[in-house]
A and B are shown apart, each in its own frame.
Chain A
Amino acid sequence: MTATPSEAVRIEPRSTQPQAAPAALAVDGLSLSFGGVTALNGVSFTVAAGEIRAVIGPNGAGKSSLLNAVSGLYRPDSGRVWLGGHSFAAVPTDRLAALGVSRTFQNLALFKGLSVLDNVAAGLTHRLRAGVLAQVIGLPTARRERADAYDRAEALLAFLHLEDARDRPVGTLPYGVQKRVELARALVARPRLLLLDEPMAGMTLTEKQELTGCIRAARDDLGATVVLIEHDIGVVMGLSDRIAVLDYGRLIGDGTPEAIRNNQAVIDAYLGVAHDLEAGEGI
């Protein structure tokens, strides 16, 4: 696997100011608890269209719970989620793809028995119009649709340097590659909003650099707004436009990397010793 992004993925200057665009996602007073544990406590923030928005915080801070609430896997006790102009008390997971939202999971959520290509193409299945019978009989419309979906999936494999793994059962691949397959499956439908829960966990430095390029390209070339949960502060500072910081389910910081770097509450609660930041390394 090459570490350099391909021609198409090369970073380009951003043409739009993210702050000027309307919000792609907003959460408003989101609270959620499990028994006695408060996972989210009145969290409110917005994600502007076209920005890369990091969510950071110590283990158990509620980051994954936040994404799960936004994708409808958890039902918040109170608060609302705004997605693409709609407001939800509980986001209907079945409609996420239609709303232009896709996500990856902290723990891999791939279809283990399927090949890499089938996993990625599955991300487009919700768009297919042909019914089962048309598919079984092999009507021209069904065949064309399918070929089109697989062409797009192949293009995305190229985009993420996954061609070599194309026909492998996804369960047999190394962890880092599987993570990338999941990103490919999320990207293949060209989401307007891409939610990534620790996409770089367990990756080597080279793999992280490569994936950083891919995420930036997803925004620059594919037009996705990105929400990214990540523990590696170096990656977060370099990649994101704005950062939201959670601690014990509460939003304790929200701003540009520079603002977060100098936010005393964040430093106290999470970043700990300031030189960790300068070193740009993970916690």
Chain B
Amino acid sequence: MTDLALDKPVPPNAAEPNRTAPAARRGTVRPSPTALGVGLLLAVAFGLLPLVGSEYLFDAILTPFLALALAGLGLNILTGYAGQVSLGSAAFMAVGAYAAFNLSLRLPGLPFVVDILLAGLVAAAVGLVFGLPSLRLRGFYLAVSTLAAQFFVQWVFNKVGWFSNNSPSGIVTVPPLSVAGLALDGSVGRYLFALSVVSVVTLVVWRLVDSPTGRALAALRDHETAARVIGLPVLRLKLLAFAVSSFIIGVAGVLWAFAYLRTVEPAGFNLDRSFQILFIVIIGGLASLRGAFLGAALIVVFPLALARLGETLLGGLFDSGVLEMSQRIVLGLLIIAFLIAEPAGLSALLDRLWRRVAGRLAALCSALCSRFASNRSA
């Protein structure tokens, strides 16, 4: 067999400049705008906000935003990248939250970081079990089978008192957050803790979706038959997607319970919450890491903004009943609008805006430069 065609080294060729520097085009040499943006965001989130933010900002906006964004990130692996629909996200949040609560209650010696990891693993194991139907079912039927996870898990936590330490009300208060002897039970501490967890998990997820395994998940999503034919381990990939996704959603549940609410109850992880996470992913953008954050920001900020707006416009007429109803209606309309106008979500919208702004800026710059140059030559 002659290998002449493919194994010949590629001669550097001036006519094809893009062949010579693939590394640069993959963005490993020059920091990309994305990297700069992320760095800036992290600097603000870790350095600036804790100094200037109010308790309200942390407790009502940022910490729940972080937990929901993480849940969205987890669901996005399953739905956006691997193409498996799930309506059971809140169940895995609940598993994570209850697992962490019981671990901290029953094994008090364990550091909380270990509790989180174990809680994530428990959620992953449960996710694996409820992911088994995905080996046979897809689309709508799979969605319905994940509903079983939602109802079953909620039922178990309602029925079995052991999980909530036999609390008569079913609501348990979690122990205050502390990591390595450092008390983090204030607003800022809990926010910083959530931010750290979310940053680390996001980094790992980014590495995952960028890896050959991440590409294989997308291949599975786009054409399962072709994926099988080229030898991708389809069953293993599906289960991996369920496990990783549930792990992350479980960790999000821990943040929700320990950093945000400081209590755990089954009703907090009902079907509404599952849909909320699905909406985050759809509105933000499927198969986009940024999308989970954009979607979560919208879902958290939007009701607050609507309440403010309603109060200012309608005053006393705008009570909590009206608020809740209008929230549902506007959110529903928003989702429909997104599905029709921008199926790729806020993430794509932002991309488009950014390109337009960047184009304007570039035009402005070159205009200024040429003016400057002509002034000098004159």
Using CB atoms and an 8 Å cutoff, list the residues of chain A in contact with chain B.
8-9, 71, 73, 93-98, 102-103, 105, 109-114, 118, 121-123, 125-126, 128, 132, 135-138, 142, 146, 149, 152, 154-156, 158-159, 163, 166-167, 185, 189, 217, 220-223
Contact = CB atoms under 8 A, between A and B. Distances in A.
B165 interface: no
In order of increasing CB-CB distance, the 4 nearest A-B pairs are A97-B231, A126-B231, A8-B5, A223-B1
A163 B13 CA distance: 13
B215 A114 contact: yes
Interface residues of B, number: 39
A132 B215 contact: no
A94 B233 contact: yes
Contact of A8 (B4, B208, B228): B4
B307 interface: no
Interface string B6-46: 11101000001011001001000000000000000000000
Contacts of B230: 97, 102, 122-123, 125-126, 185, 189
Interface stretch (B150-158, B216-224, B258-266): B216-224
B204 interface: yes
B231 A98 contact: yes
Contacts, number: 122
A154 B222 contact: no
Contact of B211 (A123, A132, A159, A167): A132
Given A118-B215, A122-B232, A125-B232, A110 B4 contact: no
Contacts of A71: 229
Nearest to B207: A136
A114 B222 contact: yes
B242 to A, nearest CB: 14
A113 B1 contact: no
A118 B219 CA distance: 9
B85 interface: no
B2 interface: yes
B212 A93 contact: no
B216 A125 contact: yes
B346 interface: no
Given A96-B231, A97-B231, A136-B211, A109 B225 contact: yes
B207 to A, nearest CB: 5
